[in-house]
Amino acid sequence: MNTVVIAGAGPTGLTLACELARRGTPVRVIEKSPEFPRSSRAKGPNQRTLEIFEDLGVLSRIFAAGSSAPVMRKYRDGELISSVDPWAGAIPTPDRPYERGWLIAQYRVEEILRDKLAEYGVHVELGAELTGFTQDGAAVIGTLADGTRFEAAYLIGCDGGHSAVRKLLGVPLVGETAEDQRMVLGDVEVTGIDRGFWHQWLDADGGVLLCPVPGTERTWWFQAAPERGAGGEPLGPSLESFQRLFARYARLPGEWLTKAELLSTYRVNVRMAERYRAGRVLLAGDAAHVHPIAGGMGMNTGIQDAYNLGWKLALVAAGEAGDALLDSYEAERLPIAAWTLEVTSERLRAALAEIRKPGGGLDVVVTEETSTLGVRYRWSPLSLRPSKSDSPLQPGDRAPDAPCADVETGAVVRLFETFAGPHFTLLGFGERSAAALPGLAAPYGDLVHPVAIDAGTPGLSDKDGHAARAYGVAGDTLVLIRPDNYVAAIVSATEAPRITDYLAALRT
């Protein structure tokens, strides 16, 4: 019995399920809703998540279903002030192929991930609400609302900010909620507005934001500060309220806004779980952390949780790695959650200050940090201490991409192409390193994929030096890349036994 049960079929749970299924791990996804939730609050993947989607094999579908983020058009007192593209001047580079995020409704991301999961023969079980569980050293025994029971090797809570799994575990979500900071949201239909822009009507006392939803003809994301009642209390979202807010801040006819659905009120929460693991039960995504939406890091952080956890859970569930590997999930991702709370809180403060100024807008929340390309785990037990620490790239850092060439055919081969799939990648730069690759990789079969660079046939040629520069390589060097495309180790060819020791330690 090595089945993993995932509670929650949002982007986090579906990413984790795809990660497990492609590794052959038996997986069930249970979702308490009787039908697939249709949420479009998250506006799409950032640069790092695009890299993950490339590895999962869904990137082309994501691109086809979405669009590049439109220019932000900013108004004051109904008058156009400026138009700004926060990503202007950003271009792809050999080591960073995606220079900006992608705009796509969350429900479309979920549909694409469900389709991918179905290719592995796994389908989400709707109307399956978890009501309780127990665990011991061998299994988790869960109970659903209809009285049925299940047995699993592991249970993963990907069931959102009100996570039943987290509550049943008794793990608190520590932090604070700013009750005075609220936003009303919804999907609306609007006529008469140019869909080539993300419109931001911002006055001193509030505003309305309208962003076109890709793949639709008339639907927009609507965001605004709520109306207030006679006593100053915030009012809930409704079509009529949205029409009044639109007329007030856009100075356009309220009846242009003709439909409003998926209505919600957002409160600023800055909270995270005290721990991510209790025995055979783990938390990921909003079940483990909630934070301000500034910077669009919510869905992305959850997907990246799942990407970190997936390969580890698969190896442990299959008996190919020791239980301690699962502890590295919390060791790596809990500090990232704390960092995310800090970044998003700071970006929210910056945005609130900026929008009070004429010409201020949401472009202030777009920073290098919100790309999450700089997220790293140098402190992790899975990051082999380097012999020299002066290289800009260290174990625990994101593994860069680089265009190389197949030595035999001359065809361009990106390093990301060699990383794709459920395996470690062992790069051997130079002839001495390449000679060591077979002996290092062979004991691990499909788990370790050796790739020789600049060492003759077969292998890759780094004739333009992009790979060597990205990895800080000078001389014969071995670089071990984790299945989630982070650097595990960088050693010289003479230190090859350190790679052997590293891989062997995963099994203990």
Residues whose CB is less than 8 angstroms from the CB of residue 317 and which lie 6 or more positions away in sequence, other chains included: 2, 4, 20, 25, 153, 154
Q: What pLDDT sits at residue 178?
A: 75
> Average pLDDT of the chain?
93
pLDDT band at 269 (very low <50, low <70, confident <90, very high): confident
pLDDT confidence band for 508 (50 / 70 / 90): confident
Note the pTM of the prediction, 2 decimals: 0.96
Please state, in angstroms and rounded to a whole number, the distance separating the CA atoms of residues 94 and 418: 15
Q: What is the mean pLDDT of residues 352-368?
A: 84
Listed residue (104, 54, 96) closest to 215, CA to CA: 104
Which among 287-301, 317-331, 335-349 has the top mean pLDDT?
317-331
pLDDT at 441: 95
Kindly tell me the number of DSSP H helices and DSSP E strands found in the chain. 12, 24
Q: Which residue has the tokens 């709370």?
A: 341
Long-range contacts of 20-23 (CB under 8 A, 24+ apart): 20/310, 20/313, 20/314, 20/317, 21/117, 21/120, 21/121, 21/122, 22/56, 22/120, 22/421, 22/422, 23/310, 23/311, 23/314, 23/318, 23/422
Query: Under a CB-based contact definition with an 8 Å cutoff, are residues 226 and 236 in contact?
Result: yes
Check residue 495 and report its DSSP letter.
G
pLDDT at 273 over 90: yes
Non-local (6+) Cβ contacts of 9 within 8 A are 29, 30, 31, 36, 37, 110, 114, 124
Decide: helix, strand or coil at residue 367: coil
* Token output for 361: 């807008």
- Cα(70)–Cα(49) distance, rounded to whole angstroms? 19
Whole-number pLDDT of residue 122: 98
Q: What would the two tokens of residue 486 be?
A: 């982070």
Do 290 and 271 contact (CB within 8 A), yes or no? Answer: yes
Question: What is the predicted pLDDT for the residue at 388?
Answer: 67
* Domains of the chain with bracketed CATH: 4-67+102-174+270-371 (3.50.50.60), 176-268 (3.30.70.2450), 403-506 (3.40.30.10)
Q: What is the 3-state secondary structure (H, E, C) of 181-212?
A: EEEEEEEEEECCCCCCEEEEEEECCEEEEEEE
Planar angle of CA 414, 417, 420, nearest 5 degrees: 150
pLDDT at 45 over 80: yes
Lowest mean pLDDT among 190-204, 350-364, 475-489: 350-364
Cα(505)–Cα(322) distance, integer angstroms = 8
What is the tens place of the pLDDT at every residue in 148-162? 999 999 999 999 999
pLDDT confidence band for 39 (50 / 70 / 90) = low
Q: Which pair of structure tokens corresponds to residue 447?
A: 């788990």
**Mean pLDDT, residues 174-185 taken together:** 83
- pLDDT above 90: residue 443: yes
Report the C-alpha gap between 276 and 484 in whole angstroms: 19
Is residue 133 pLDDT above 90, yes or no?
yes
Give the separation between CA 470 and CA 125, rounded to whole angstroms: 43
Single-letter amino acid, residue 406: D
How far apart are the C-alpha atoms of 310 and 20, rounded to whole Å?
A: 6
Query: In the numeric block, which tokens belong to residue 146?
Result: 């209809």
CA 386 – CA 473 distance, rounded (Å): 13
For 246-278, the DSSP string reads: HHHHH-S-GGGEEEEEEEEEEEEEEEEES-SEE
Which H/E stretch holds residue 453? strand 448-453
69 pLDDT above the threshold of 70: yes
Q: Are 481 and 441 in contact (CB under 8 A)?
A: no
367, 297 contact by CB (below 8 A): no
Strand, coil or helix: what is 438? helix
Structural tokens at position 467:
């790979």
